[in-house]
Structure 1
């Protein structure tokens, strides 16, 4: 009887105006793939990527990790004695001093979306690819779940490293660019994948050089992010702030080389994006 009532309600369902708007926002996403034929582009300043990855680690550590301190460790040196441990000292256990143990509570997932449209072929793609690799390395060191995706109208949304993969294959980051810039459509697909993660803090970084092919879809993606409670930050490569509409100024910064990734991330962190 309950099943029949639910069936009738479903058949008679008429979406409200809000439901229709939400359905439109979720529409026009990019198909996801794990393969792309145009690969092998050299990284910009590859020798700087390891140090940039370490800079990502240091910059995001305080923003993503909350430290909690508990007096539940014991060492053979210290200032506070444990009366309970003194008994064991006659048996050779010299760990009789209470020591604070720092436990890191980390619950974050980050998606990094890289523009691979035709305009990125002006030397920007090599920079963006290096930025993506450095960020992924830094996040892996932090043990922050991360996913790296590249997009264009031809490749759709190519996932170079999914959330559940620990190993970073640098060759999969050497993406060549092509055709148009479906930023909004790619963001919607990435946001839905990010939303399925169980972590508390979620953020999507968009690395791009210019205006989306469909500005309206980009605005819809920003609205979807608000609905899902996911933060959005844009790292511009060879572009001006005017090329991105609808985004708060404090969540935009430029990255002209992988070496200034630390400065760019510091600005984003100061905006309390996490």
Structure 2
């Protein structure tokens, strides 16, 4: 596939087709409506743009294929929604990589690009409870579910921050509840997990509040005991009584030699825990968790609004992709979606007498061309592996040339995609017919001429195809669809809209590039006035670089020569056979390898 790196839109189209989703390339933003993915206008090349675009495409394709949007919409609480989204992303990416192994490369490249920052424990804490919770849960899923070890250090840091902010018990519950969620069969199966995690957070909050109250009562009791002791020390009467009692108790006894009392004092002095006894603030700093701080953090988390969770990582990808494409410094080109033409209410296309005569003339000449290209020759030699039974009698005469050798000259193996311009400017007259009618006649003549001929596959498309406020490309005849089943679709070709030639050429070119035939030819029938001339030049350049040969038929205009080196101009459909045959014969017979 030499040259594929030089056409990011074509690669994107191939990825979309492989994963079974619909793609458009237009504007400056990446987005999806749940059915169609749109990428911004793209340059021909660029490693950063490609990594972002293909990773985003694969991620959103996974959503379209595997996410139950009804389940996603069933949750209203902002935290529940964010948790479900964080759990759903690795689930769908894991499944896409199982169904389409090539997606692993695209998704991991994207992750290496956007998940490569390492934040310290302090930085995670400074983000606040809501962002810390989401960042750690995301890191945990990326590392544990998808095995992306380049995120491990940030995960360890966010884990330490999580434990410090929400408590070790909450961390253990989080890891236990979310383990194995990427293996769940559907989005609906994640809903109970989300509910269970929410309940665990609420339980942790209540427990933290309870322990905070107990801690406060304990602190107050300790403070009261300390106050009583201080008051006792300040009372002279009690001091004298204690002194006298001590004298009486010590009467007749000698103080310890070496001093057990001294040992006891020394022991306390050397034990940090003992030295800190009676100071609850010291316990809070190193030994005991701050239950009130944990309760406050959980309260802030459970009451957080959507804005407090920070940007979704895919939103960051979309923003970066839009910026990268605009700043690429290269010409950018888009791509339309190709949809089957709606033939409701239309009759079969009826070729005019002139068109029928053109079809017969063209078909006869193409058939002769193909027959001259596909020939089988038999030779009989004295050595070989296949005996010719009809020549064995020659052995009696001493002739041993009875081994049959067959050589076949490779015939025409070509896919042709015909693209018909049906923009508003094609309503102008070309003689007694409007331009679009001449173009339709030409398209039908070519399709009928090659129908059933071995070695040639043909598709016909028309543009623009307006659906609501969107311009797409209409599939009139598919490569593998017989012409008789497409005749109504030819009748749908009617002038409409503008001339998004570049976007339509890229859509048709992407489908043509994926064909198995050795040769690939795109034939355009147009009046040659595209909406964006720079984009049209870029589309021609990219398709030619991919080995697609381009021919333009100008309908009563020679403006096609500005964009296509191979072009011809026809004024009447009767001119088509002679002009087109010359082009086809040259393309089909040249550069054979």
TM-score range (shorter-chain normalised) is: 0.7 to 0.9
Which position in structure 1 is the counterpart of 2:444? 133
- After superposition, where does 1:247-262 map in structure 2 within 5 Å? 247-248=564-565, 251-262=566-577
Which position in structure 1 is the counterpart of 2:562? 245
Rounded Cα–Cα distance in structure 2 between residues aligned with 1:157 and 1:147? 13
For residues 161-186 of structure 1, the C-alpha deviation after alignment (integer angstroms, 9 at most, x for no partner) is: 01111233322112111120111111
SS of equivalent residue, structure 1 residue 212 = coil
- After superposition, where does 1:50-65 map in structure 2 within 5 Å? 50-61=356-367, 62=369
How far is the alpha carbon of 1:86 from its aligned partner? 5.2
Rounded Cα–Cα distance in structure 2 between residues aligned with 1:9 and 1:65? 52
How far is the alpha carbon of 1:206 from its aligned partner? 0.4
How far is the alpha carbon of 1:142 from its aligned partner? 2.0
Which position in structure 2 is the counterpart of 1:68? 375
Rounded Cα–Cα distance in structure 2 between residues aligned with 1:205 and 1:231? 8
Which position in structure 2 is the counterpart of 1:11? 112
Normalising by structure 1, report the TM-score: 0.75
Rounded Cα–Cα distance in structure 1 between residues aligned with 2:347 and 2:534? 31
SS of equivalent residue, structure 1 residue 119 = helix
SS of equivalent residue, structure 1 residue 193 = helix
SS of equivalent residue, structure 1 residue 12 = helix
Rounded Cα–Cα distance in structure 2 between residues aligned with 1:180 and 1:191? 20
SS of equivalent residue, structure 1 residue 264 = helix
The Cα RMSD (Å) is 3.8
SS of equivalent residue, structure 2 residue 373 = strand
Q: Relative to total residues, which structure has the larger strand share, 1 or 2? A: 1
Normalising by structure 2, report the TM-score: 0.37
Rounded Cα–Cα distance in structure 1 between residues aligned with 2:510 and 2:502? 12
Rounded Cα–Cα distance in structure 1 between residues aligned with 2:579 and 2:500? 24
After superposition, the Cα gap between the structure-2 partners of 1:263 and 1:10, relative to the gap in structure 1 and judged at 3 Å, is farther
Which position in structure 1 is the counterpart of 2:536? 218
Tell whether the 8 Å contact from 1:111 to 1:205 is kept in structure 2 after alignment. yes
SS of equivalent residue, structure 2 residue 531 = coil
Rounded Cα–Cα distance in structure 1 between residues aligned with 2:551 and 2:112? 41
Tell whether the 8 Å contact from 1:203 to 1:233 is kept in structure 2 after alignment. yes
Rounded Cα–Cα distance in structure 2 between residues aligned with 1:33 and 1:162? 11
Rounded Cα–Cα distance in structure 2 between residues aligned with 1:64 and 1:41? 35
Rounded Cα–Cα distance in structure 1 between residues aligned with 2:578 and 2:337? 33
For residues 122-177 of structure 1, the C-alpha deviation after alignment (integer angstroms, 9 at most, x for no partner) is: 21111111111110111214231110000026252000101111233322112111
After superposition, the Cα gap between the structure-2 partners of 1:41 and 1:259, relative to the gap in structure 1 and judged at 3 Å, is farther
Greater C-alpha Rg: 2
After superposition, the Cα gap between the structure-2 partners of 1:188 and 1:48, relative to the gap in structure 1 and judged at 3 Å, is same
Which position in structure 2 is the counterpart of 1:172? 489
2:574 is aligned with 1:268: no
How far is the alpha carbon of 1:217 from its aligned partner? 1.6
Tell whether the 8 Å contact from 2:335 to 2:506 is kept in structure 1 after alignment. yes
Unpaired runs of 5+ in structure 1? 74-81, 89-97
Tell whether the 8 Å contact from 1:130 to 1:258 is kept in structure 2 after alignment. yes
Q: Relative to total residues, which structure has the larger helix share, 1 or 2? A: 2
The count of residues paired between Structure 1 and Structure 2 equals 249
2:486 is aligned with 1:181: no
Taking CA–CA contacts closer than 8 Å with sequence separation of 6 or more, which of the two structures ends up with the larger relative contact order? 1
2:453 is aligned with 1:142: yes
